Structure 1
Amino acid sequence: MPSEQGHRRDREWGDHPDTAHRGTHDLRLLFELVMLTDIVFLLVYVKGRHLSYQRGKRNTNPNTSLVQIEGVDDSKAASFYLGKKVAFVYRAKREVRGSNIRVIWGKVTRPHGNSGVVRAKFRNNLPPKSFGATVRIMLYPSNI
């Protein structure tokens, strides 16, 4: 039975007296608070793309993956990422410990060629389904 305010389906978010204070006003206050406190959010990883396994003409070597790092286009720039941790983040169907997001961790081992591609070894070999998928190259451990 609708009340004098109308049916709940006909009201917009924030029209209810209890939720009227939860509109864009709070977002504006939060944004101003962030601007006043000079909080800077640092990104701790760089995006990369899983290209393929290391391979010869006929044979693939699935225990070493080739990763193209975003913004890296020569082997000298790729050498900065040697030893950095790599994470392949994916969603699984079944929930484990309250989450269906899983991670396969690895490490950048050496450059591959002259175009900024690096080799990475993962704890478990990456599945072939991940070819072309995004990986995260963490900016730690630092060697600076």
Structure 2
Amino acid sequence: MEAKNLSSVFLSSCARDLYAYREKVAEVINRLDGFKCIRMEDFGARVFQADEFCRTQIKQCDVAVFIVGLCHGSSPEQAEDSYTAREYNEAVNAGVSRLLFLSAEGVFYPGYYRESDEQWQSQQAFRQRLSQELIRDTFTTPEEL
């Protein structure tokens, strides 16, 4: 039997508020014949900075899926943009096809996810930018992805 070439799909999102969503999407991608999900939690220990390694991985993928909620999430040292925003910018610059899923307006957002006003405003600006750049779908639950 001839080996199949796998299409690689990079999955990006803030894990803080979207862990269950990431799990669901990764499960679906990996069940598809000929597709493999690439995501940070599967990398293991590396000698690279996480930001550098993820952005390198994106350039090697066939498509990048972005799940964008209300949390800004972490940023690399000395960077204002979140990891997700930096990964999105890398996909744009590398010409990688992008699929975008935004949490719907009014989606439940527990208070313990609350970040600084700066991070909140940055995330809202990122969501607005994405809404203007790509056709996207919205979700409220992991099952809707």
Q: What TM-score do the two structures reach when normalised by structure 2?
A: 0.21
Which structure is higher in helix share?
2
Larger C-alpha radius of gyration, 1 or 2?
1
Q: What TM-score do the two structures reach when normalised by structure 1?
A: 0.21
Which structure is higher in strand share?
1
